[in-house]
Amino acid sequence: MVKAKIREIIQETPDIKRLILELDKNMPFKAGQFVMLKIDSERFDKLIPTRAYSIANAPNDKFEIQIIAKIIPDSNFSQYLDQLETHEEIEVQGPYGRFTLSDKDKTTEVTLLGAGTGVAPLVGIMEYALQNNIKSHLIYCDKTDEDLINIKQFDELTQNRKITSKILTTRDKDSKRIKCHVTKEFLKENLPTRKGLFYVCGPLEFVNNVVGYLEELGIEKDNIKTERYG
């Protein structure tokens, strides 16, 4: 267990906060892993369950991890996370998970497919890929334009040709993005490559559907990594 101080809180979208955490000691992790967050029971005078959160940045030597958390009203955990302020402490357990990109993967290309907060670990994987000359392609789907997470960085990297991206929205009739779900037809037309590794993260149904489509399109099971959020 590592203690972390909340260095900065950024309102990322109307219901999503990005927390920048400063760890009190080094916690080596791989891009794409997650941690369990624990709030001290004394803070709200009650026992709050721990929750899993992906690390939304690449490994670094600054003892820093970033968390992208959806704040859900009346929830068991995130409503309390929402009330914490900068300089407060939180406990971090981990890192955990095999949804990772590291030098062991020996790939030159990754395709990252995410929905909602499932984009969080993909941000860390993309940053690692950029640092290591691995080509990244992003397919990211969310509800509306204003729900899009980390979109400024995605747009800038796309404009500068550092990554390719397809950004989709499903519930915004005025959206400036591609208005559809990630369907098999969409992937057939838009999958930028069949090579390298594929990372799929988000709600259970999204991940199961997308993995099925990728396999139907000829991507080998062994080249698909998944993280299911529920």
The residues binding ligand FAD (CB under 6 A) are 34, 51-54, 68-70, 72, 75-78, 116-117, 120, 227, 229-230
Closer CB to ligand FAD, 185 or 205, in the complex? 205
Residue 34 C-beta: closest distance to ligand FAD, Å = 4
Residue 53 C-beta: closest distance to ligand FAD, Å = 4
The residue behind tokens 């590794």 is: 197
**How deeply is 130 buried, as exposed, middle or buried, from its count of CB atoms within 10 A (0-12, 13-18, 19+)?**
middle
Closer CB to ligand FAD, 128 or 229, in the complex? 229
State the pairing for strand pair 135-142/163-169: parallel
Sheet with 178-179: list strands edge to edge: 178-179, 163-169, 135-142, 109-115, 197-202, 224-228
Closer CB to ligand FAD, 68 or 211, in the complex? 68
- Which residues make Cβ contacts (< 8 Å) with residue 155, sequence separation at least 6? 165
Closer CB to ligand FAD, 128 or 135, in the complex? 128
Residue 39 C-beta: closest distance to ligand FAD, Å = 11
Give the DSSP letter string of 109-165.
EEEEEEEGGGGHHHHHHHHHHHHTT-EEEEEEEESSGGG-TTHHHHHHHHHTTSEEE
Residue 52 C-beta: closest distance to ligand FAD, Å = 4
Residue 182 C-beta: closest distance to ligand FAD, Å = 16
Closer CB to ligand FAD, 117 or 165, in the complex? 117
Closer CB to ligand FAD, 169 or 191, in the complex? 169
Sheet with 16-23: list strands edge to edge: 51-54, 34-38, 89-96, 2-13, 16-23, 64-70
In the structure encoding, which two tokens stand for residue 159, read together?
């404009």
Residue 230 C-beta: closest distance to ligand FAD, Å = 6
